[in-house]
């Protein structure tokens, strides 16, 4: 006889997302993907505890200020290409300042 319990967490929405263990909480199931570009790195992060949220980060060595204005459309073009298999997605928020 099986007892009821919570359903298993969903699988990542994109095949390119790989397990990214959280050292402080081994129970968390976080998946990530990084792609290097000449001036910055794009990082996608998905947490099985919050499956409706897929985060896109632009990681760049910015020492003062924000990402240059001309780099922002390039970043979003890469993100759109990476998440294209999911179809159109809503963007809940965008924070250009790290």
Q: How many CA atoms lie within 13 A of 72 on its CB side?
A: 9
24-33: b (≥16 Cβ within 10 Å) or e? eeeeebbbbb
In the structure encoding, which two tokens stand for residue 41, read together? Answer: 């790195």
Find the mean pLDDT for residues 20-31: 91
Predicted TM-score of the model (pTM): 0.82
Selection from 22-26, 30-34, 38-42, 87-91 with the highest mean pLDDT:
30-34
Q: What is the DSSP string of 71-98?
A: HHHHHHHHHHHHHGGG-S----------
* Domain residue ranges of the chain, discontinuous segments joined by +: 18-86
Q: Which of 28, 45, 50, 39 is nearest to 79 (CA)?
A: 45
Q: What is the pLDDT of residues 35-75, one digit of tens each?
A: 999 888 999 999 999 998 899 998 888 766 777 888 888 99
């Amino acid at each position: 006889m099986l007892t009821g319990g919570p359903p298993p967490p969903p699988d990542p929405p994109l095949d390119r997302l790989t397990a990214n263990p959280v050292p402080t909480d081994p129970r968390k199931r976080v998946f990530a993907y990084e792609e290097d570009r000449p001036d910055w790195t794009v990082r996608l992060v998905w947490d099985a505890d919050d499956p409706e949220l897929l985060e896109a980060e632009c990681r760049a060595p910015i020492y003062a200020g924000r990402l240059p204005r001309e780099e922002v459309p390039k970043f979003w073009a890469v993100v759109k290409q990476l998440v294209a298999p999911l179809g159109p997605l809503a963007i809940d928020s965008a924070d250009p300042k790290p």
